[in-house]
């Protein structure tokens, strides 16, 4: 009955404990309860209340703690770090215990032998980023000091790469980037605008950007571009002071060709009105605007 009571008390103490310090205190407390239960059995008791077992366990724990504290003060007083048997004997005498009765009590016939609790090895936590072997301590460093850290914490390990300066590699990289940009733009335009396919059945394998038909296709080739017109205007403005006769001649030519220009502008306006209805509001599908060249003064 005593063992069962002590076991139930141990189970009640295990609830809510998870840290290693709490587990150590719980194991020590349970061992003391087993010792108290065995002493009560040797004295002839068949059962005991849980409160009585807990009280005697607390008394035994206080008695052992006082023995350890007194023994520690004795061996520290003599400049030692480990206790000896004389320290324990002096402690027991100081606490009023008759040391001569210990041999006879240890050889009693009805004593119960308590088996030692099983020793569980602590799980070894693997070291993260373990590289190489740890450096041993030099001769001037004591062995009880902590070991050196892992070599990867203080060995120089460069993490940046040197820039590539090879001409062939740079040209290949630039060409691949240009090809990727062109491919991405082509796919974007194919998804946002009208497309044509090489195959009748499958329209998504090789999409091609559909060409917009013009009413007069050769008109764009005959008309000068904005860049050419700007260059002509710049040359005319630079030579205006020196070539007055040429300017008058060009004015007459413009007056003669005004009729043909009006016809061309009317045709362009009609084409632009027709194209505004079908033109998609997409910046990639707008006509290309060439940059204007500014004349250096």
Q: What is the CATH number of the domain that holds 40?
A: 1.10.20.10
What pLDDT was estimated at residue 55?
92
Tokens of 229: 């017109």
What pLDDT was estimated at residue 164?
80
In a domain, residue 73? The reply is yes
Are residues 170 and 247 both part of a single domain? no
Strand-strand pairing, 195-197 and 207-209: antiparallel
What pLDDT was estimated at residue 181?
93
What is the band of 145 on the pLDDT scale with cuts at 50, 70, 90? confident
What is the band of 243 on the pLDDT scale with cuts at 50, 70, 90? low
pLDDT above 90 covers a percentage of the chain that reads 11
Of 83, 106, 129, the residue at which a domain comes to its end is 106
Of 181, 211, 241, the residue at which a domain comes to its end is 211
What pLDDT was estimated at residue 247?
56
Residue 222 has pLDDT above 50, yes or no: yes
Across 119-131, average pLDDT: 69
* Domain limits for position 175: 165-211
In a domain, residue 122? The reply is no
What pLDDT was estimated at residue 186?
81
The upper half-sphere exposure of residue 282, i.e. CA atoms within 13 Å in the direction of its Cβ, equals 13
In a domain, residue 226? The reply is yes
What pLDDT was estimated at residue 177?
93
Backbone angles phi, psi at 58, to 5 degrees: -65, -40
What pLDDT was estimated at residue 4?
35
Across 88-109, average pLDDT: 88
What is the band of 265 on the pLDDT scale with cuts at 50, 70, 90? low
Are residues 69 and 100 both part of a single domain? yes
In a domain, residue 138? The reply is no
What is the band of 270 on the pLDDT scale with cuts at 50, 70, 90? low
In a domain, residue 135? The reply is no
81-90, 222-231, 247-256: which has the highest mean pLDDT? 81-90
What pLDDT was estimated at residue 172?
92
The upper half-sphere exposure of residue 85, i.e. CA atoms within 13 Å in the direction of its Cβ, equals 1
What pLDDT was estimated at residue 69?
93
In a domain, residue 247? The reply is yes
What pLDDT was estimated at residue 252?
52
Higher pLDDT, 203 or 50: 50
What is the band of 70 on the pLDDT scale with cuts at 50, 70, 90? very high
- Mind spelling out the 3-state secondary structure of the chain? CHHHHHHHHHHHHHCCCCCHHHHHHHHHHHHHHHHHHHHHHHCCCCCCCHHHHHHHHHHHHHHHHHHHHHHHHHHHHCCCCCCCHHHHHHHHHHCCCCHHHHHHHHCCCCCCCCCCCCCCCCCCCCCCCCCCCCCCCCCCCCCCCCCCCCHHHCCCCCCCCCCCCCHHHHHHHHHHHHHHHHHHHHHHHHHHCCEEECCCCCCCCCEEECCCCCCCCCHHHHCCCHHHHHHHHHHHHHCCCCCHHHHHHHHHHHHHCHHHHHHHHHHHHHHHHHHHHHCCCCHHHCCCCCCCCCCCC
In a domain, residue 21? The reply is yes
User: Domain count of the chain?
Assistant: 3
In a domain, residue 204? The reply is yes
Residue 226 has pLDDT above 80, yes or no: no
What pLDDT was estimated at residue 66?
92
Reported pTM? 0.36
Distance of CA 147 to the CA centre of its chain: 29
Considering the chain, what is the average pLDDT of its residues? 75
């Amino acid at each position: 009955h005593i063992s069962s009571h002590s076991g139930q008390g141990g189970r009640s103490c295990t609830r809510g404990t998870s840290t290693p310090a709490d587990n150590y205190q719980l194991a020590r407390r349970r061992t003391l309860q087993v010792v108290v239960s065995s002493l009560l059995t040797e004295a002839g008791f068949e059962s005991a209340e849980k409160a009585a077992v807990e009280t005697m366990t607390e008394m035994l724990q206080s008695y052992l703690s006082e023995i350890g504290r007194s023994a520690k003060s004795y061996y520290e007083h003599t400049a030692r770090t480990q206790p000896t048997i004389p320290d324990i004997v002096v402690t027991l005498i100081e606490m009023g215990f008759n040391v001569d009765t210990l041999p006879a009590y240890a050889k009693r016939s009805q004593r119960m032998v308590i088996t030692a609790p099983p020793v569980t090895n602590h799980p070894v936590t693997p070291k993260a980023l373990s590289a190489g072997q740890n450096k041993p301590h030099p001769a001037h460093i004591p062995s009880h000091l902590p070991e050196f850290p892992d070599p990867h914490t203080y060995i120089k390990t460069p993490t940046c790469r040197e820039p590539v300066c090879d001409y062939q590699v740079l040209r290949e990289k630039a060409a691949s980037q240009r090809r990727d940009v062109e491919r991405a733009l082509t796919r974007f335009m194919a998804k946002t605008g009208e497309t044509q396919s090489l195959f009748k059945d499958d329209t998504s394998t090789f999409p091609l950007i559909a060409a917009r038909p013009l009413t007069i296709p050769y008109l764009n080739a005959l008309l000068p571009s904005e860049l050419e017109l700007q260059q002509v205007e710049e040359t005319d403005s630079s030579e205006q002071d020196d070539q007055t006769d040429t300017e008058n001649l060009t004015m007459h030519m413009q007056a003669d060709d005004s009729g043909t220009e009006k016809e061309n502008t009317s045709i362009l306006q009609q084409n632009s009105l027709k194209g505004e209805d079908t033109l998609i509001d997409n910046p990639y599908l707008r006509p290309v605007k060439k940059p204007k060249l500014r004349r250096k003064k």
